[in-house]
Amino acid sequence: MGIHQVTAFLSVETTIARLHGGLQGTRKNRCCCPMVDGEPRPWLPSPAPAMDEITFKSDTVLSDVHLHTPNQRQLMVRLSGVGQPVFLSQFKLLWNQASQTDSGAEGGSHRAHHTEVTPPARSGCSSEAVSLQAGADATSQEGVAAQLDEDGDLDVVRRPRAASPSKPSGPPRDKVHPMILTQEEDDVLGDEARESGPYDVIKIEHTMATPLEDVGKQVWRGALFLADYILSQRDLFQGRTVLELGAGTGLASILAATVAQTVYCTDVGADLLAMCQRNIALNSHLTAAGGGVIKVKELDWLKDDLCTDPEVPFSWSEEDISDLYGHTTILLAAEVFYDDDLTDALFKTLSRLAHRLKNASTAILSVEKRLNFTLRHLEVTCEAYDHFRSCLRRLEGLTGGRLRFAVEPVDVSFPQLLVYERIQQLELWKVFVEPVTELIVSEDTAS
Per-residue model confidence as pLDDT tens digits over 248-300: 999 999 999 999 999 999 999 999 999 999 999 999 999 887 788 999 999 99
Inside any domain, residue 191: no
Inside any domain, residue 398: yes
Nearest to 110 by CA among 136, 69, 140, 147: 140
Nearest-angstrom CA–CA distance, 104 and 310: 49
Inside any domain, residue 175: no
Nearest-angstrom CA–CA distance, 265 and 331: 10
Strands (E), 184-248: 201-206, 241-245
Inside any domain, residue 416: yes
Inside any domain, residue 139: no
Inside any domain, residue 219: yes
Number of domains in the chain: 1
Residues of the chain with pLDDT under 70: 1-59, 68-73, 96-197, 374, 377, 438-447
Phi-psi region of 107 (alpha: psi -120 to 50; beta: other; left: phi over 0): left
* Per-residue b or e along 167-204, where b marks 16 or more CB atoms closer than 10 Å to that residue's CB: eeeeeeeebbbbbbbeeeebeebeeebeeeebbbbbbb
CA torsion sign, 216 to 218 to 221 to 223? positive
Query: Residue 140 in 3-state DSSP?
Result: coil
**What CATH number should be reported for the domain holding residue 238?**
3.40.50.150
HSE of 398, CA atoms in CB hemisphere, 13 A: 21
Inside any domain, residue 120: no
Contact between 407 and 396 (Cβ < 8 Å) = yes
Domain assignment of residue 346, given as a range: 212-435
Query: How many residues make up the chain in this entry?
Result: 447
Inside any domain, residue 33: no
